[in-house]
Chains A and B, each alone.
Chain A
Amino acid sequence: MSFNALPQSSMPLLMGNSLNAWSDALTGFAPMGLPLGLLVIAAIPLVFIALYALTYGVYGERKISAFMQDRLGPMEVGKWGILQTLADILKLLQKEDIVPTSADKFLFVIGPGVLFVGSFLAFAVLPFGPAFIGANLNVGLFYAIGIVALEVVGILAAGWGSNNKWALYGAVRSVAQIVSYEIPAAIALLCGAMMAGTLDMQEINVLQSGTWGFAHFFLFQSPIAWLPFLIYFIASLAETNRAPFDIPEAESELVAGYFTEYSGMKFAVIFLAEYGSMFMVSAIISIVFLGGWNSPLPNIGPLALNDMTTGPVWGAFWIIMKGFFFIFVQMWLRWTLPRLRVDQLMYLCWKVLTPFAFLSFVLTAIWMIYVP
C-alpha cells in the first residue's frame, strides 16, 4: 500500500496534505549547509519528554496517586502545587554530584546517559501525528524493539559501576527481566505487524485510518487481537520496570535497586529515562493496536466527527492522548498492586506470556491467511 491510497479528504490542509510534510520540510531546512532542521527534529522529542515528564509524569503521578490514596498530593508550591516538580528539579540541579570513591567512575557516569539514550533513540521512529516522524524507517517497529535493549546496558553499567551490593542485585534482576520480557513483547508486536503487513510506523498508522474511526484499529480488526494487545501491555510494564514488575528497584527489598548510589542530576536523568520509556511503550502499543494518530471518532451520517478530528495537529493530539491514557493505566496499576517475586516474574514470562504470545501469533497468521 502506498501513501497515495490515503484518502485525501481525511487530511485537511493545515500545512501540506502529504504524509510527513512537517518532518520532510524540516529535513530539507539546511541553511549554509548546516543541518539545522535535523537538529530541530531531534530536539522535538527531547523537549516533549522533558515537558511531559515534568508535568504529567511526575506531577501527574503524584496527584493521581494522591487521589487514589485519599491524600492531596503536592499543594504548597504554586497553585495546587503545580510548580512542585520545577522546585524539585531546581533542587536536584543544585545538588553535589557525588561519585562514590569505590565506584567505577567511567561506568558510573555513562550509566544514566546510556539508559536515557536507549529510551530516547526509540522516539526517532515514533510518529507524532501524520505530518511528523523523526526518521521514517521502513523497519521502524523492528528498530524500536531493538533499540530499547540498549537500556539494559545502561542499567548494568549503573548497577555494576556503583560498586554497591544492592545496586548489583537490582542490575542483575533488571537485565534478566528486560531480556526475558522482550520475547513476548516482540512476538505480540509481530502480530500487529502481521496484520499491517509492514514494519513502517507511518504505514501501520495509515492502514488503521478510515471514516469508521476506532473500528479500523487493529485491536477491533481481528477477534484475537486483544490477546497480543494484553500480552504486550503486561510485558511493557516489565520492560519499563513498572509495578507490579518493579523488582529491579524494589524499594523495600533493594533500597533503590540499580540507582541506589545516584543523586542529583544523574538521578534526574534516570528518572527522565524511565518516564521516556513509559511514554515510548505506551505510544507503541497505541500505534500498533489502537490506531496511533488516527481519530477514534467515527463519521455518523452527516456528523463527520472523524473528518473533523483528523489532521496533523489532531494527529499529534490523539497519539499523545492515547499514550497518556496507557501511562495512566500504568500508574493506576502501580498504586494498586503488590510486587511479584523474581521467580514468579520469570514464571509469568516464560510459562504464561511467551506460550500465549506464540499462540496469538499462530492464530493471527491463520486469521490473516484464511479470513479476508
Chain B
Amino acid sequence: MAGQGSVRVTRKSDNVVIIEKDLATEEMVLSMGPQHPSTHGVLRLECRTDGEVVTEAEPYLGYLHRCFEKHCEHVDYQAIVPYTDRMDYLAGMNSEMAYAIAVEKLLDIEIPRRVEFIRVIVSELNRIASHLVAIGTYAIDLGAFTPFLFCFRDREHILNMLEWASGARMLYNYIWIGGLAYDVPSDFQKRVGEFVDYFRPKAVELSRLLTENEIFVKRTKGIGIMPADVAINYGWSGPMLRGSGVQWDLRRNDPYSIYPELDFAVPVPDGKFSDVGDCLSRHLVRALEIEESLKIIEQCIGKMPPAEGFDPRAAVPKRIRPKAGEVYARAENPRGELGFYILSDGKSTSPLRCKARSSCFVNLSAMKDLSKGQLIPDLVAIIGSIDIVLGEVDR
C-alpha cells in the first residue's frame, strides 16, 4: 500500500485518468478562454484541474452572440442570406444553401438545373476550405505549425475562386433564394478542374506530413472517445457522428439538390488506423471527405448544363411573402447538420420566427462529458477535434 501523501495516477483503457490519493490536494479553477489560442474563437471553459488533470470542464458560450434569430424577424427573407454567412463564417456557401433550401421549400419554387450544379460546386469547394481550416488549426493545437500554413496556402486558391464567382472571400451573399447572385465566370469550370488536379497531390502530402506522423497519432488515438449511441443521443452530426462510426450524411440520407445523381462515398473509420470515436477518427473523416468533395466537384463540372440562355435570377422572386405555414429544411454542412426552421404568418415579408439548428452548438454540448478526467493537452486535442466555429455556436 502506498504511504501517506502518495498519489496514484492510472489511465484506464478509455483513456480517462483516475487519481487516487491519500493526501487531499486543492483543486484549481482554471479559466480557459475566451482569450486562449486553442479555443478557436471566444469559447470559455471553466476547468477544475487537479495538477494537469481536468476533473471537470464547463463550457460558457455567448461571447459572440449577435441576435441572429431576432434580427431575422425584422428583415426580409432575402436580407437574411448575408446573416447566414456570418454564422459559420468558414463555410458561408453551405449556410446560404441550407437557408435557401428552407425558404424555397416554403415557397415551393422550382430551381434551374444549372443553379443547382453551381450551388453544389461552390458549397463543396467551401467544404474543402472549411475542412482545411479544421485540419490546419487542429495541427496547430497539437503543436505542428507547418501543416497549418500548407492548409491555408491551398485554401487561398479556393477563396480566390469563390471571390472570382461572388466578389467576396468569406461572406459571399452568392446563393440567393431561388437562384444565384450571378452566373459563374466563363472559365470557372476550367479553373476549378485545374485546382482539383493541383490539390490532389497536396492532400497526399498533407496526410503524409500530419496524419501519418507518429507523434500526431500518439496524441490523438484513443483520446476523447465518443461511443456511437451516446453520440446519437447528444444529437451529433457531420464528421463528429461519422467519426463515431455512424454512416450518416444528409447528402445521402435526406438528399437535397442534385446529390442523389452524384457518386460519392461517406467515409467512416474502420477502427484499423484509429479507435472508432476518438479524435483521430474525426480528423480522418475530415481528411477523407476532402477527397470525396473533390470527386463531387469533378462530376459536377462534367455534368453541368451549358451557360447559353441561362439567367441565374430567373426563379428569384421579387417579393417573398409565403403562405402561412412552417418549414424545416436541413443540409449537410462541413460541421454537421445545419437546419432552418421558418414560421410564416402569411402576411409579412419577414419570417415570424426563424430558428437555426447549429451543428457546432450541438456537438459542443458533449464537451462536459468528453473532458472529464482528461489531461490539459488532451482537452485541447478534444476541443480541436470538435471543430467549433463560435460564430455558429453563439449566432
Could you say which residues of chain B place their CB within 8 Å of the CB of A251?
37
Known contacts A338-B144, A342-B52: A69-B375 contact under CB 8 Å: no
Q: How far is the CA of A250 from the CA of B144 in the complex (A)?
A: 11
Q: Which residues of B contact A70 (CB under 8 A)?
A: 149-150, 153
B28→A165 contact, CB < 8 A = yes
B36: Cβ under 8 A from any A Cβ = yes
B95 at the interface (CB under 8 A from A): no
B106 interface hit (Cβ, 8 Å): no
Contacts of B144 in A (CB 8 A): 336-339
Residues of A within 8 A of B141 (CB): 252
Q: Does chain B have a CB within 8 A of A68?
A: yes
Is the beta-carbon distance between A338 and B216 smaller than 8 angstroms? yes
Per-position binary interface string of chain B over residues 122-163, scored 1 when its CB falls under 8 Å from any chain A CB and 0 otherwise: 000000000000000001111111100110010000000000
Determine whether the beta carbon of A244 is less than 8 Å from that of B153: no
Residues of A within 8 A of B206 (CB): none
B352 lies within 8 A of chain A by Cβ: no
- Within 336-353 of A, Cβ neighbours of B (below 8 Å) are at 336-344
Residues on the B chain within 8 Å of A68, using CB: 146
| Most chain B Cβ neighbours within 10 Å, of A335, A336, A338, A343 | A338
A337 to B147 alpha-carbon distance, docked (Å): 10
Q: Is A246 at the interface (CB under 8 A from chain B)?
A: yes
Residues of B within 8 A of A231 (CB): none
The answer to whether A338 and B375 touch (CB under 8 A), given A69-B150, A252-B38, is no
Task: Write out the residue numbers on chain B whose beta carbons fall within 8 Å of the beta carbon of A244.
Answer: 143, 215
Taking CB atoms, residues of chain A closer than 8 Å to B36 are: 255
Tell me, in angstroms, the Cα distance from A3 to B30 when the chains sit together. Answer: 59
Q: Kindly specify which of B230-238, B248-256, B376-384 makes contact with the partner chain.
A: B376-384
Q: With a CB–CB cut-off of 8 A, which chain B residues contact A336? A: 144, 146, 209
Q: Is the CB of A343 within 8 A of B375?
A: yes
Decide yes or no whether B213 CB sits under 8 A from chain A. Answer: yes
- Interface of chain B, helix or strand or loop or mixed? helix
B40 CB to nearest A CB, Å:
10
Nearest chain-B residue to A251 (Cβ)? B37
Interface class of chain A by DSSP: loop
Partner of B218, one of A255, A335, A340, A342: A340
Which residues of chain B in 201-255 are interfacial with respect to chain A, using CB atoms and an 8 Å cutoff? Answer: 209-210, 213, 215-216, 218-219
Q: List residues of chain A with CB within 8 A of the CB of B213.
A: 337-338
Contact of A252 (CB < 8 Å), options: B52, B143, B146, B216: B143
Bound: A335/B140 CA distance, A: 11
A243 in contact (CB, < 8 A):
yes
CA of A246 to CA of B141, assembled, Å: 13
Of the candidates A68, A253, A255, the one having the most CB atoms from chain B within 10 angstroms of its own CB is: A253
Q: A243's contact among B143, B149, B153, by CB below 8 Å, is which? A: B143
CA distance A366 to B209 in the complex (A): 40
Evaluate contact between B377 and A247: CB separation under 8 angstroms. yes
Q: For residue B143, which residues in chain A have a CB less than 8 angstroms away from its CB?
A: 243-244, 246, 250, 252, 337-339
Q: Which of A253, A338, A339, A340 contacts B376 (CB 8 A)?
A: A253
A91 interface residue per 8 A CB criterion: no
A244 to B150, CA, bound (A): 19
Between B28, B30, B149, B209, the greatest number of chain A beta carbons within 10 A of the residue's beta carbon is seen for B149
Within 8 A of B (CB), among A152-205: 165, 169
The residue on B at minimum CB distance from A341 is B377
A244 to B143, CA, bound (A): 8
Interface residues of B in 29-68 (CB under 8 A from A): 30, 36-38, 52
Residues of A within 8 A of B37 (CB): 251-252, 255
Closest to B217 in A: A338
B-contact 0/1 string along A244-273, CB 8 Å cutoff: 101100111111000000000000000000
Which residues of chain B are near A341, meaning CB under 8 Å? Answer: 218-219, 375, 377-378
Is B150 a contact of A169 with CB atoms below 8 Å? no
**Complex Cα–Cα for A70 and B142 (A):** 21
A342, B375: Cβ atoms under 8 Å? yes
Nearest residue (CB) in B for A244 is B215
Residues of A within 8 A of B218 (CB): 340-341, 344
- When A244-B143, A337-B213 are in contact, do A253 and B150 touch as well, CB less than 8 Å? no
A95 at the interface (CB under 8 A from B): no
Subset of 10 A-B contacts with CB under 8 Å: A65-B145, A69-B145, A70-B149, A252-B37, A252-B38, A252-B140, A253-B38, A255-B37, A338-B215, A342-B52
Q: A residues engaging B (CB < 8 A)?
A: 65, 68-71, 165, 169, 243-244, 246-247, 250-255, 335-344
Given contacts A337-B143, A341-B377, 7 further A-B contacts (CB under 8 A): A65-B145, A70-B150, A250-B143, A336-B209, A337-B144, A340-B218, A342-B375
**Shortest beta-carbon contacts, A-B, top 4:** A339-B143, A338-B144, A69-B149, A252-B38
